[in-house]
Amino acid sequence: MLYIRNESNNPYFNLAFEEYLFNLDDNENYFLLWQNEPTIVVGKHQNTSEEINSDYVKEKGINVVRRITGGGAVYHDLGNLNYSFIIKNMKKVDYDFSKFTIPIIKALKKLGVESELSGRNDITIDGKKFSGNAQVVKQGKLLHHGTLLFDSKMEELSKALKVSEDKFKSKGVKSVRARVTNIKDYLSENISVLEFKELLLNYMFDEDMELKEGNLSQKDYDAINSLMENKYLKWEWNYGESPEFNVKQSKRFSSGKIETLANVKDGIIQDIRFYGDFFGSGNLEDIQSLLKGVRYEESHIRNALKDVNVDDYFKNISLDELISCIL
């Protein structure tokens, strides 16, 4: 596995950097550790305007960028460390979070911190989240990345994100401040986030897998910068337009939340969009296109989707559950 150092704190560059390596047509596996200046990173399927406190984000100059994986919005700052595994030529490509979170849990244990995988994609200490994880799979390749709150500014985190009440209810807590924590609070020694970064490199790969340091060419960096400019800096990618709608449905399942906005006229679906923090590898435009022009009735919607493998688009969510989010 190759470790590519990336000292940039530019979130638009960093996400382009990650996607470039993920899409690179090679047989290398990569590991990355990186940091962003104050940024909200929204999940691939989320409605950005619903996830951020727009006034606060504008006032503080916080960056907003969309990633290529599902899951929920997260706050990054220089007290947070991000990690990425990029695995090529996988025999069985599936959403298995434990394979990539266990090395983090083992490394923290060597630092005297007990942690555990919780729910579908969080790592917690004493029941408080310090790491959110997300994945995408495509053509035998897998990208797994996660946050590691080390010494982040919790006040900024709680003000910048606009977390829905149903998420609090599902977690049994009252606020985002009550359910997140920093790793530094549990360490016996006072170390910096950069020292923590180097310790992670030593502790994560000293037993189970070999890590070598690699380098990218100028051609690689030119391609990364082009991807940043043509995708990650674009308003269309980071925000996008929501359709006019007169029907709004929202449900949270154990595998994530689905919110549906539909424009229904004379009983016919004119336009429909799906948003949420669910995971899935399929292109949602496939399903959205199938539903345009369909009568807004269960039997007609079910018939339109009868040949669709819903699990490809909404991981661990059934057709019945999806339909319940439309009607």
Same domain, 265 and 225: no
Among the three residues 180, 215, 238, which one is the final residue of a domain in this structure? 238
Q: Which of the listed residues 238, 269, 300 is the one where a domain comes to its end?
A: 238
Shared domain check, 114 and 11: yes
**Which pLDDT value is given to residue 184?**
96
279-307 tens-digit pLDDT: 988 899 999 999 999 999 999 999 999 99
Whether 58 and 187 map to the same domain: the answer is: yes
Same domain membership, residue 254 and residue 182: no
**149 & 273 share domain:** no
Mapped onto helix, strand or coil, the DSSP state of residue 255 is coil
**What is the pLDDT at residue 169?**
44
Read off the tokens for 54. Answer: 């727009």
CATH code for the domain of 59: 3.30.930.10
As a whole number of Å, the CA-based R_g of the chain is 20
Q: Are residues 217 and 292 in the same domain?
A: no
**Are 132 and 264 contained in the same domain?**
no
Answer yes or no: do 148 and 293 share one domain: no
Amino acid letter, residue 24: L
- Return the pLDDT at 204: 82
Specify whether 267 is located in the same domain as 293. Answer: yes
Separation between Cα atoms, residue 55 and residue 106, nearest integer Å: 40
Question: Are 146 and 23 within one domain?
Answer: yes
Using CA atoms, how far apart are residues 270 and 247, in angstroms rounded to an integer?
11
| pLDDT attached to residue 206 | 65
Q: Which CATH number characterizes residue 260's domain?
A: 3.30.390.50
Q: How many domains does the chain have?
A: 2
* Domain boundary pick from 181, 213, 238: 238
Domain residues for the domain of 173 are 2-238
Q: What is the mean pLDDT of each run of 10 residues along the chain (327 residues)?
A: 95 98 94 97 93 94 96 94 91 73 92 90 92 89 94 91 58 53 94 93 75 94 98 95 86 92 95 93 92 95 94 92 94
Q: Chain-wide mean pLDDT for the chain?
A: 90
Residue 53 shares a structural domain with residue 9: yes
Are 137 and 279 contained in the same domain? no
Q: Among 154, 54, 139, 22, which Cα is nearest to 89's? A: 139
Q: What is the pLDDT of residue 286?
A: 94
Listed residue (84, 103, 93) closest to 18, CA to CA? 84
